[in-house]
Amino acid sequence: MAAPGLSAYLILAALVFTIGLFGVLTRRNAIGILLGIELMLNAVNINLVAFARFEADLAGLVFTLFVIAITVAEVGVGLAIVIAIFRVRRTVDADHLNLLRG
Amino acid sequence: MIFATVMFWAVALALVASSLAVVLTPNLFHAVLYLAAALVATAVVFLLLDAAFLFAVQLLLYAGGIVTVMVFAIMLTERLTGQRLTQTNRHVVNGAVMSFAVFVGVAGFIMRSNATAAAPASADRTLDIARAIVGPFAVTFELLGVLLVAALLGAVYFARTED
């Protein structure tokens, strides 16, 4: 049995990415949608690290660090927006958040 | 080699199972806990790929930081409404078809690309990462600091009380 190659990691990342996409498409709750986005970003990180390992390229590892830091900023702002919306509308159901609909 | 293969499949199974639980469980609080499990499984994948430093960063920032913030947000919003945040999914069939189509497209592309490169000899790259951050990626690193400060100020501004 051979050790898992690059394509095994890529398929795993694609699977996690599509699961996260399913969550973003189907969740009603805004925090649930944020959870799906977290899964998708995680899958991208797996891809970056796998390419860095198999191509012996350092940029993948550094970019994973950057993606993790940007995700932290995104979660902070996203959850602050969710709490602010909650104060005003008393709901985080994405179907009811239609203030900006033209 | 056998150990690495068994570890990979075990971690892959745990990662996919906990990811599915994140998007399917009706209780939002449980979903965050399953997300923590998925993030730890991702950290182990990093360890299998010889990225020990990213393993530590993933555990500290993601599994430690983000999950804590998520739990706080859920508890705050629950207290604001006084009802438990259960949630249902909508358009499940459409979402499943869409996601499956994306997966088939990406997986087909990966299969056709015959990426059969053998892994080069493993080495600890932590020192190289440190040198790259203050060397060729120094400007990006500084911009990241600016972004974090801006995000912090934005989060405080959004979540402040009126008075």
The domain ranges of chain A are 7-96
- Cβ pair A35:B32 closer than 8 A: yes
Domain A7-96 CATH (choose: 3.40.50.800, 3.40.50.10540, 1.10.287.3510, 1.10.1050.10):
1.10.287.3510
Helix (H, G, I), strand (E, B) or coil at B91: coil
Residue B17 has pLDDT above 90, yes or no: yes
Distance, first Cα to last Cα, chain A: 58
Q: Please check the confidence at residue B115 and state whether its pLDDT lies above 90.
A: no
**Long-range pairs for B36-39: beta carbons < 8 A, 24 or more residues apart:** B36/B63, B36/B67, B38/A16, B38/A39, B38/A42, B39/A38, B39/A42, B39/B63, B39/B66, B39/B67
The pTM assigned to this predicted structure is: 0.87
Helix (H, G, I), strand (E, B), or coil: what is residue A60?
A: helix
Q: Where are the domains of chain B?
A: 2-123, 125-163
Q: Is B83 on the interface with A (CB under 8 A)?
A: no
| Highest CATH level, class, for B2-123 | mainly alpha
Q: What is the pLDDT of residue B20?
A: 92
Does the pLDDT of residue A21 top 60, yes or no? yes
Output the pLDDT for position B143: 93
pLDDT of residue B92: 82
- According to the model, what pLDDT value does residue B149 have? 93
ipTM of the complex as predicted:
0.88
CA distance A89 to chain B (A): 10
| Sequence-separated (6 or more) residues with CB below 8 Å from residue A35 | A23, A27, B22, B23, B31, B32, B35, B70
- Residue showing tokens 């892959």: B12
Mean pLDDT of chain A: 85
pLDDT surpassing 60 at residue B86: no
Given a cut of 70, whether residue A28 has pLDDT beyond it is yes
Across chain B, what does the average pLDDT equal?
84
pLDDT at position B39 is 92
Cβ contact, residue pair A76, B85, below 8 Å: no
